[in-house]
Amino acid sequence: MKYIIGTRGSRLALTQAEYVCKKLRESYPQEEFEIQVVKTRGDLILDKPLHEIGDRGVFVREIEEKLLSGEIHLGVHSMKDMPARPASGLAFTRAWKREDPRDVLILREKSSLEELPQGAVIGTGSKRREFQLKRLRPDLNIVGIRGNVDTRLRKMEEEKLDGIVLAAAGLHRLSMQDKITQYLEPEEMIPAPAQGILALEIREGEEKLKAMLDALSHEETAAAALGERSFLQEMGASCHLPVGAVLRKEGEEMFCLRAMFGNESGSRQAYASVSGREPEELAREEDLGFLCGHYEGIDERVLEEVVTDHVSIGDYVLTGGELPAMVMVDTISRLVPGVLHNDTSAESESFQDNLLEHPQYSRPEVWHGKRVPEVLLSGHHANIQKWKREQSILRTRERRPDLLKQCQLTEEERRLLADEEYTRQKTEESV
């Protein structure tokens, strides 16, 4: 059978697709494989930063449309550019061996980040990279830059930038390691979730092709992809928000997940690291830690600030403010169902329909640009704050009881824990 492999047309994208094509030809000589270049919206708009032109899907939608129509059989992407979930009707196969996940500095004259002068100008189109660079060197002047690897290198020279930040994986695949000035370790800059991993996307139900691709997968990389992208899903993040995650193996059976999350302006950032045996479970534990405010950049008052600020909860839910959109929408859907049903306005009905159609509430494109009607939230701010914090505390007790020792609980919250424990014991006794 002849399989058509779809890819973007940049030099890096073609290099990645050719790598996949070559490996498939070597492994399955009885089959035919051919590459087809597909232009995407992200390739056509180069004068705006990514967060202004859409979500991660701007680099993949056209490829996914051709997959769904049957015009191509396999899409090859950089997994870090993919939305948290594949489009309906499509699926990712198990990940192949990862390239270096780190970010790197390419400097025009100096030899390290430390050597850069005060106020040096660094180019990047990523909020994640920008905010973490500023954390390392608050004096740096960060400017936006878009385009493929060659374009960014050219812009650095033409605009006399002191340097740019790129992914090590792309430079390695292009055999351009000699351009790298300094590797930034995950302790310095947490990479994007699944950075350095290829996303191999096919139609659901293509079992033969899935088996062929899965047979070439790499166990440790597959675990990393699961843990890092699970964190992305848990946080409900899009390209509008800075999010980073990297999972590494520790010993024979343990994994460590380092992660960061922030708001759009960078005024709040949180960093965390957890270890355990199950990558997917580690992602949920990171999420719990951020919600309970145990980590750098988020204090115990954050929940109160989110719901009492001058900007309504609706704005935070729909444009991605201090806390993940998924969490806030889920909270509202649980707390305000009566108001949703009582309000018969078209706006309310539309909002209710969205809630019913998207039970996971984690795809940012569902909510971005919309606003929760004020009437739906009237009188519920205090309840939402209280309920959300209680749920975070209860979930933390179940999964990470050690974290509760770091959290300053009110008397009412201590009584809640005691009541829950009493109820649990009585239930066990009755069984």
Q: Which residues are marked as active site?
A: 80-81, 128-129, 146, 152, 239
Query: 195-207: buried (b, 16+ CB within 10 Å) or exposed (e) per residue?
Result: bbbbbbbbbeebe
Q: What is the phi/psi pair of residue 121, to 5°?
A: -105, 120
Residue 1 burial by CB count (10 A; 0-12/13-18/19+): exposed, middle or buried?
Answer: exposed
Largest CA distance in the chain: 75
Whether 202 contacts 90, CB under 8 Å: yes
Q: For residue 133, give the nearest of 103, 176, 92, 171 by alpha carbon.
A: 103
Q: Which two tokens stand for residue 59?
A: 């680099």
Whether 178 contacts 103, CB under 8 Å: no
Q: What is the distance between the alpha carbons of residues 233 and 97, in angstroms, rounded to a whole number?
A: 22
Order the strands of the 243-250 sheet from edge to edge: 243-250, 254-262, 269-276
Residue type, 45: I
Please report, for residues 67, 134, 153, 161, the alpha-carbon distance to residue 119 in angstroms, rounded to integers and kept in the order given. 46, 11, 20, 11
Q: What is the phi/psi pair of residue 75, to 5°?
A: -105, 130
Whether 38 contacts 8, CB under 8 Å: yes
Angle subtended by helix axes 279-292 and 219-235, to nearest 10: 30
3-state secondary structure 32-91: EEEEEECCCHHHHCCCCCHHHHCCHHHHCHHHHHHHHHCCCCEEEEEHHHCCCCCCCCEE
Strand, coil or helix: 186: coil
Neighbour count for residue 69 (Cβ, 10 Å): 9
Degrees to nearest 5, angle at CA 402 with 396 and 406: 90
Q: Are strands 254-262 and 103-107 parallel, antiparallel or unpaired?
A: unpaired
Residue in the structure block whose two tokens are 């490829």: 63
